Amino acid sequence: MKRMLSGIKPTGQLTLGNYIGAIKQFIAYQDEYEMIVFIADLHALTLPIDPKELRKNTKDLISVYLACGLDPNKVILFKQSDVHEHAELGYIMACNSYMGELSRMTQYKDKTSKIKTNDSIPTGIFVYPTLMAADILLYDADYIPVGIDQKQHVELTRDLAIRFNNHYSETFIVPEPVLSKTGAKINSLSSPDKKMSKSESDKGTIYLLEDLNITRKKIMSAVTDSENEIRYDMENKPGISNLLTILSALTNKSIDALVEEYKGFGYGVFKKAVADVVCSELEALQNKVKEIQESNVIEQILADGAQKATYLARKKLSKVYRKIGLN
Ligand code: ATP
Ligand code: MG
């Protein structure tokens, strides 16, 4: 069975983008692949975060994973900081990477473009992709499901793996990114040309655990255009196209089928349909999250997951240490 790996940073409250672009996909993959899913809490430190918030986000994240149907009997589910091999191989990857290639990462450029001087850009955000490479390469993962925003980091991981293999002999599996068919990228409802993102507060972001009256309002006031025609055209109609993408991902209907279904309807009716689908999906999810958080199963699941992950990671890291002369 091929192995697939993915993680999410507990940097903020989970969004509909994370759900459609990442979490929902894992559930489908867990029967097809040997899945390894982790909470990327070390990655959450790249930009300043309040410790209380980090703890809460971590707990919510694992609860959402479980509520969505991720099965700890099928999937290795753990917290990155529980397996210290990530940080260790991350350092080695940093030593094998170049300033130039890291500076070219779009996400680094995006996230630092708002910071005024070089002096206050945290180094962690610069070396982030080297830790991500370690996350992946430790486990011999064949496939990495990603939204389009993370594809470049997986490509860098491939480069680093190939570089290491060439230099020290075959050590790492070179992973491949897998883009989800629909919903590869969900945008903000208020600025539909911008990615919906959990660490950037935006009135167009839908949070999975928010009050559903607010969700409904956000969808009903989503930015659209003046045409009043429902069709997919990301360039000229990013708002409507984004809503179509969301609806398609949650109903499993194709965009074409939805365009046909809503032909002749006004934007108000269409938005209401989107709101109904999103709210009913989130309501079920929120109920399950509550149940899980009340049941106290989380700690044990994370401890079991960390033990399984450590076993694999330890083996790989020993091999790396041997090759580079550390033991
Ligand atoms: P941050 O703002 O901290 O980067 P994020 O919302 O981008 O948060 P990540 O933890 O970076 O979330 O990514 C988790 C997973 O969710 C990744 O697989 C990523 O590709 C996916 N993802 C994130 N945002 C979206 C989005 N708007 N649409 C689709 N997938 C997304
Ligand atoms: Mg991100």
Which ligand 1 atom sits nearest the alpha carbon of residue 150?
Answer: 20
- Give the Cα-Cα-Cα angle 76, 148, 217 (nearest 5 degrees): 90
Active site residue 195: yes
- Among all bound ligands, the one having the nearest atom to the CA of 14 is 1
- pLDDT the model gives residue 182: 55
- pLDDT the model gives residue 184: 63
Which residue CA neighbors atom 3 of ligand 1 most closely?
199
Cα distance between residue 6 and residue 68, in whole Å? 15
User: Which of 9, 59, 198, 316 is labelled catalytic?
Assistant: 198
Strands of 102-227, DSSP E? 143-146, 176-179
Residue 77 phi, psi dihedral angles, 5° rounding: -120, 120
The structure's pTM equals 0.89
- pLDDT the model gives residue 149: 81
- In a mutational test of the pocket of ligand 1, which residue from 11, 14, 18, 39 has the highest number of ligand atoms less than 8 Å from its CB? 18
Which residue CA neighbors atom 18 of ligand 1 most closely?
146
Q: Are 40 and 269 in contact (CB under 8 A)?
A: no
- Give the Cα-Cα-Cα angle 77, 82, 84 (nearest 5 degrees): 120
Which residue CA neighbors atom 1 of ligand 1 most closely?
199
- pLDDT the model gives residue 21: 85
Q: pLDDT by residue for the chain (327 residues), tens digit each?
A: 999 999 999 998 999 999 998 888 888 899 999 999 999 999 999 989 999 999 999 999 999 999 999 999 999 999 999 999 999 999 999 999 999 999 999 999 988 888 888 888 999 999 999 999 999 999 999 999 887 788 999 999 999 999 999 999 999 999 999 986 655 689 999 999 999 988 777 789 999 999 999 999 999 999 999 998 999 999 999 999 999 999 999 999 999 999 999 999 999 999 999 999 999 999 999 999 999 999 989 999 999 999 999 999 999 999 999 999 998
Which ligand 1 atom sits nearest the alpha carbon of residue 40?
Answer: 10
Beta strand 3-8 with 34-39 is parallel
Which residue CA neighbors atom 25 of ligand 1 most closely?
17
Around ligand 1, the residues with Cβ closer than 6 Å are 8-9, 11, 15, 17-18, 20-22, 146-147, 149-150, 185-186, 195-200
Which ligand 1 atom sits nearest the alpha carbon of residue 11?
Answer: 3
Q: Are 181 and 43 in contact (CB under 8 A)?
A: no
Whole-number Å distance, alpha carbon 51 to ligand 1 midpoint, is 21
